[in-house]
Structure 1
Amino acid sequence: METKLILHTGKLVDSHLHNRRKLSVQPHVQVFSQD
């Protein structure tokens, strides 16, 4: 599960946001977008 931590900085986040986009996770997207 170490790969998840590494991808959690961008790839996993994109995947999660893609699926959680319906849960209104827009604020989270902006935070990662600035990073």
Structure 2
Amino acid sequence: MQKLLIISIGLRIKLKKAEARMKDRAFKFLSF
């Protein structure tokens, strides 16, 4: 049970990091 919770939290963090990276790229494109 606890292992699944840790995995889900880890995946959520990875998704948030990926989302932040995508937004950063979008802002760089818009600034040009």
Coarse TM-score class (shorter-chain normalised): 0.3 to 0.5
Indicate the structure with greater helix content: 2
Which structure carries more relative contact order (alpha carbon 8 Å, separation 6+)? Answer: 1
Q: TM-score, normalised by structure 1?
A: 0.34
